[in-house]
Amino acid sequence: MRILISFILVLISQFALANRDFLIDSDWLSERIEDKNIRVLEVRYHPHRYFTIGHIPGAVQVQRFKDLGDNNANPIMRFPSKKAFEDTLRRWGINNDSTIVIYDDSGTALASRVYFLLELYGFNMNQVKILNGGSRAWNSFEDMTTETTRVSRGNVVLQEKNPNLFIEWQDVYGDVVSERDKNIVLLDARPHKMYTGEVIKHSILAGHIPGAINIVSMKGISAQEWIDEKGLIDLYAQIPKDKTIYVYCHDGFRMSLAYLQLKSLGYKHVKLYNGGWSHWGNRLTLPTVEDEAPYAGDYEL
């Protein structure tokens, strides 16, 4: 009986910590879309669809690679500099008091990258929302337009990168591959066949970083919408909340989704690998594991 009560209390505490206030539906947006402080951002998998299929009226186009990465880095999806991202936000008409609504057509994985960058550079996240269901949710009841949105240049001011939200390859190599710090969980958010090495994509090398576990962040999405809180809790059940979590994917979007999912469940110490697998998997000297297990071969010992 005592064990059952303890289990129930743990379950209740997990739900109590869950917070999805950043997720909105199309009704929320349609009621506020004329507000002068609302700025809607669309980031599609194929950016040309902003013009061909259409977008939410008033939405500004986000070009997912050019606008959300470092165009001069290798790989290009390392985080953009503060100056570059600030300039991009101003071009989108963002001010310090703007309420930003982000949507995509990819289960919020692309929108999550915008969300993370805003948090990384110190924007007030109480003013940032994500449209659950994205373009599909809006288009089910509301009209789209192909007219390009024109906005006045904004004046937002960002802060320096928050060091508590990201890590570099040296951190992964030192803390996980070498020292095997038991207080750190390395999470690979990519599709499972990329994790095992059966599929090679976005890199020269196959497999995963030694020590990484695989939880596919897109499994937290169904029909373009987030699954319920219980489902997310089950998805990430193997990760204790008192651990520090390093997350990576191949191009920066799925790991951003994992970050947001974990944050919504109350995980406090989540950091993204700047560059991810597109960085690690293209450095021929860095170690990889082609297996179902986190450590295998020489790294199993």
pTM beyond 0.85, yes or no? yes
Cα(114)–Cα(143) distance, integer angstroms? 24
How high is the pLDDT of residue 217? 98
CA 136 from chain centre, in angstroms, equals 19
pLDDT at 257: 98
Cα–Cα distance for residue pair 51/127, rounded to 1 Å: 27
Q: What pLDDT score does 300 carry?
A: 82
Strand order in the sheet with 244-248: 166-167, 270-273, 244-248, 184-188, 213-214
Give the number of other CB atoms < 10 A from CB of residue 205: 17
β-pair type (221-222, 225-226): antiparallel
Cα 75 to Cα 170, 224, 245, 280, 282: the distances in Å are: 16, 28, 22, 10, 9
Q: What is the pLDDT of residue 4?
A: 52
In this prediction, residue 17 carries a pLDDT of 56
pLDDT, averaged in runs of 10, over the chain (301 residues): 49 59 97 96 97 97 97 96 98 98 98 98 98 95 94 98 98 97 98 97 95 98 97 98 98 98 98 98 96 91 71
Backbone angles phi, psi at 94, to 5 degrees: -85, 130
Q: What is the pLDDT of residue 9?
A: 47
